[in-house]
Amino acid sequence: MKLNGKIAVVTGASSGIGAGIARAFGAEGATVIVNYSSSKAGADAVVSAIEAAGGKAAAVQADVSKPDDIIRLFEKVKADYGRLDVLVNNAGIAIFEMAADVTEEAFHKQFNVNVLGYFLAIREALKVFGKDGGSIINISSILSTDPYLASSVYAATKGAVDTMTFALARELGPRKIRVNSILPGHTNTPATDGNFAGELGVKLLAGTPLGRFGEPEDIAPVAVFLASADSHWVTGESLRAAGGVRGVGY
């Protein structure tokens, strides 16, 4: 097992890509802290699936847009497990609006979750990583480099995530902590349900060389690679997991 004995936190893991990564980590031997903001039932289902497959997991509630919640999350990890080996920053929010319609509230909400939430999680995780270091994986998006129409704010948050990834890889390298990001493409999740329907879906598929939309299970092996010793010489990188999409895909 590639992650045998590792302690891993996956934020926003009650569904979608986060849930897929959590299940994959559990199957590879990690003890997985399944973070959720509001869907306890979803997080409990992920924990049950990991345990049913012989793995170890626990659900912990924390809203990553709230600093006190993030502090509480990592204090619990330290108290329960004594250390942290892997952090996956996955919790996120997307609001697609044309610039003329974007409110300050929508702007700050996306940056508070997608950027500040990631940064604060990393800051608190640094207090729990041990002397052997570990791996931080930030879930970004292909929109960080190839934004859609009406995605200016969301795309900007993901661009910030990638830049933060590069900067922290340099800063944390001496502590043996690797920092990388994954850029998923068009992926079927509860958050994207219905987004790929109709003419847009046809265009997106036409621009995807592998000929289908992604699934959380397509992203999870990339996260396992970045969390494991297989990627011991990989840091400061942004890995696309997008079925070959270049540009906006249409």
What are the sequence ranges of the domains in the chain?
7-241
Token digits for 249? 């895909």
Radius of gyration (C-alpha) of the chain in whole angstroms: 17
Whole-number pLDDT of residue 250: 56
Whole-number pLDDT of residue 249: 58
C-alpha–C-alpha distance, residues 85 and 137, integer Å: 11
Per residue of the chain (250 residues), give pLDDT as tens: 999 999 999 999 999 999 999 999 999 999 999 999 999 999 999 999 999 999 999 999 999 999 999 999 999 999 999 999 999 999 999 999 999 999 999 999 999 999 999 999 999 999 999 999 999 999 999 999 999 889 999 999 999 999 999 999 999 999 999 999 999 999 999 888 777 888 888 888 899 999 999 999 999 999 999 999 999 999 999 999 999 998 765 5
- 């929010």: which residue's tokens? 93
CATH class of 7-241: alpha beta
Q: Give pLDDT tens digits for 176-220.
A: 999 999 999 999 998 887 778 888 888 888 999 999 999 999 999
C-alpha–C-alpha distance, residues 89 and 98, integer Å: 27
Task: List residues bridging with 110 in a β-sheet.
Answer: none
Q: Choosing from 36, 81, 118, 154, which is the catalytic residue? A: 154
C-alpha–C-alpha distance, residues 196 and 190, integer Å: 12
Per the document, the length of the chain is 250
End-to-end Cα distance, the chain: 39
Contact 189, 214 (CB under 8 A): no
The per-residue b/e assignment along 171-188, b for 16 or more CB within 10 angstroms, e otherwise, is ebeeeebbbbbbbbbbbb
**154 labelled catalytic:** yes
Amino acid letter, residue 15: S
Contact 175, 133 (CB under 8 A): yes
